[in-house]
Amino acid sequence: MEKMKSFTSSSLFLPVVALVVLLVFNGIFVDGFFDIQLTEDGRLFGRIIDILTRSSSLVILSLGMTFVIATSGIDISVGAVVAISAAVVCTLVGGRGDGVAETPMVLAMLASVGIGILCGLWNGLLVAKFKIQAVVATLILMTAGRGIAQLLTEGQIVTVYYPPFASIAGVIPGMPLPTNMFIAIAMVIFVSVVMKKTSIGLFIQSVGINPTAAKYVGINVTLVLFLVYAFSGFCAGVTGLIESSLIRAADANNAGLNMEMDAILAVALGGTLLSGGKFYLGGSVIGAVTIQTLTTTLYALGVSADQLPVVKALAVIAICLIQSRKARDLFDKWKGRHDGEAVADSAKAVNRA
Amino acid sequence: MNKKISELIASKYFSFFVTVILFAALYGAGVGMYKGFLKPQVFLNLFIDNAALIVVTVGITFTLLIGGIDLSVGAVLALTCMVLAWLLANTGIPVFAAVLLVLLMGTAFGALQGYLIAKFDLQPFIITLAGMLFCRGLTAVISRETINITNPLFVAMADFRLPIGSGFVSMGVIIAIVALIAAAVVLGFTRFGRNIYALGGSESSASLMGLPVFRTKVSVYTISGFCSALGGIAYSLMMLTGYNLHGMGMEMDAIASTVIGGTLLTGGVGFIPGALFGVLIQGVILTFISFQGTLSAWWTKIVVGALLCVFIIMQAFITEHKSKLTAKSSLEKNS
């Protein structure tokens, strides 16, 4: 019983339960949902693998977003930065029909990740140096970012015919799984090792809880903020690589569209409070997979991409209400009044909330 | 002299003056470069093309004044256009009833968002973001195709032109002007308006003073919802369609206009005429681009982004300057 209680109150409870519910739903209604097959050339495929592969972009973005939210900030420019990074890599590799790269691909990739970091540093400059609220500071890049991406691609959709470019989000021959999954796993491992071996996680938390106090105990708040936004930009840059490689093109209008919403949702679902402070990387990763599972499930049910936000919006509000201390207080008060007679009702209300 | 300048910078209206001067300079440059800018109709077109944005900006100004934000405005506008087009196409209800119905819908949606924000102490940013997703999605649920408005009375309203001098304005402009005046009066001359400024200055002080914080918050988001719906009607009058992607990114344009017009994003400072000039500046930039002919539309996004950035950084400096000034004057008083 004690163990049960500690599990239900743990931060992983919500995303894990949501994920399990979705998986069970899929397992019942979709034939062969859990089947994983091995092709002759040694590749794994199946619906589960597919969901995991597709969630790798979101996992990477939500890693960056977790730290930003932990400092009680927010980065709504990630979607636009994804578009910029995609535009950079595609224009550098070039859209030549004969499949020759104009710039070596490694250089192009480095440049696009570098642009991502630059965008993050710009956000960090506005937030840390000019002390502008994070929403507004990142709003600037969100508005202007897509314009910059269109400027880079000259309003065209740049299609890349250079064959190795597709392998960033595709399968390198001989590998069992697509490359983007490895990228995501590598980044998760890297971040967890950094968190384990250094105290930067603690610094980020203290900045999120109380920046003034953090400053007085000797933490370089400006540097922490810069780092956090730069890392978010870096994650968006990597995601831009993956997203452009998926479609082998840079689409300035649609690359990374609404991805900032999904990343925020994943972080919130993972148990990190949107008001900052304590953060849960594992929660964010599971949250991202859950969101992707939800998306895939809804697509399977015949919901179109532009109708999808209705469900996600309800999910956002539900998570906010669960996180809200005031909602919990009101609920406790209400429960105290109706105790006993309304236990069943309150269980229903929790489900609804 | 130095003191005068520093007082001027600290004045509430400094941002507004900068905006007006910038607008005049941009327009003057336009007149210098292209003859067409001198035609009165070009000036009136600024209002005609941006009527919906003006109405939406008026609504979002209220939320920014209390230190909140409303990201759902563009989506509510799209939903309004869509529901109106759907009602006129598929039901026989009279035009005015349909208009009333969509206005009511927008208002109710705003009120719901306000209730969630005020009652459960949630961040306005995240709730209105969810509202934006919800309305956009709902618009797509109603129809993923464009619905044309063919109702003769509504089309007649859209074709209505009110002559002014040698030019004319449309019905949307009349709606926008009425909304501007009403909002300016409410903010400047009513108790409710004072409450909004007080709440934006400091929520805890407002609450300790016994001001109705909860009611004011809910009303502000309700007004924003109403303005978005009203903007949707102005938009429908211009486009005569309901479409999923109407008003995409309009929340950013509206916030940019408000900020350029001198509203502080931290709340408590700002007024309606500034917001109007914020919209007009964006309109002038668009006119420039269409007169120039070779510049592409994405330049607007970049220029507006850059302007927004300059004004926000200016705000940060002004706020710092002001706090230094008050600290200095209180020191002088003490000594």
Phi, psi of A74 (to 5 degrees): -160, 150
**What does the alpha-carbon distance between residue B117 and residue B124 come to, in Å, rounded to a whole number?**
6
CB contact under 8 A, B308 and A143: yes
- Return the closest-CA partner of residue A293 out of A9, A101, A15, A71: A15
Among chain B residues, CA nearest to A303: B141
- Measured CA to CA, the distance from residue A247 to residue A227 in angstroms comes to 31
DSSP A127: I
Q: CB of A244 within 8 A of CB of A253? A: no
* List of chain A residues whose C-beta atoms are within 8 Å of the C-beta of residue B119: 326, 330
The residues, any chain, with a CB within 8 Å of residue A62's CB and separated by 6 or more, are: A263, A266, A267, A270, A284, A285, A287, A288
What pLDDT shows up at residue A249?
87
Q: What is the rounded CA–CA span in Å between residue A177 and residue B328?
A: 65
Chain A residues whose CB is inside 8 A of the B309 CB are 126, 140, 144
Q: How far apart are CA A93 and CA B195, in angstroms?
A: 57
Q: What is the reported pLDDT for A6?
A: 67
Residues of chain A with Cβ-Cβ distance to B265 below 8 Å are 132-133, 136
Ranges of chain A with pLDDT below 70: 1-11, 338-353
State which H helix or E strand residue B168 sits in. Answer: strand B167-170
**How many CB atoms are closer than 10 A to CB A302?**
7
Please report whether residue A84 resides in a domain. Answer: yes
How far is the alpha carbon of B164 from chain A, nearest alpha carbon, in Å? Answer: 35
List the single residue in B122, B133, B301 with the smallest CB-CB distance to A144: B301
Contact B326, B6 (CB under 8 A): no
Q: Which residues of chain B have pLDDT under 50?
A: none
Domain locations in chain B as residue ranges: 41-247
User: Does ipTM come in above 0.85?
Assistant: no
Does B250 touch chain A if contact means CB atoms closer than 8 Å? no
Looking at residue A26, its pLDDT comes to 83
Integer Cα distance of A9 and B313 in angstroms: 43
What letter represents residue A89's amino acid?
Answer: V
Residue B28 in contact with partner chain A when CB distance is under 8 A = no
Residue found by looking up tokens 């300035």 in the block: A252
> Terminal CA-to-CA distance of chain B, rounded, Å?
23
Residue B81 CA, distance from chain mean position: 17
Whole-number Å distance between alpha carbons of A108 and A85: 10
Would you state the pLDDT for residue B84? Answer: 95
pLDDT of amino acid A3: 63
Instruction: Name the residue with tokens 């509430």.
Output: B12
A337, part of any domain = no
Specify whether the CB–CB gap between B277 and B261 falls below 8 A: yes
**DSSP for residue A160:** P
Any chain A CB within 8 A of the CB of B289? Answer: no
**Which of chain A's residues have a Cβ under 8 Å away from the Cβ of B306?**
144
Domain assignment of residue A16, given as a range = 2-307
| Interface contact flag, A306 B137, Cβ < 8 Å | yes
**Among all residues of chain B, which has the CA nearest to that of A260?**
B129
**Run of H or E residues at A249:** strand A249-250
Distance CA B252, CA B254 (A): 5
Residues 34-73 (B) with a CB less than 8 A from some CB of A: 69
For chain A, how many structural domains are there in total?
Answer: 1
User: Helix count (H) and strand count (E) of chain B?
Assistant: 15, 4
User: Per the domain annotation, does A86 fall within a domain?
Assistant: yes
Q: Which two tokens stand for residue B80?
A: 């309004």
Q: Which residues contact A71 (CB under 8 A, 6 or more apart)?
A: A204, A207, A208, A224, A225, A228, A276
Distance (Å, whole) CA B148 – CA B169: 23
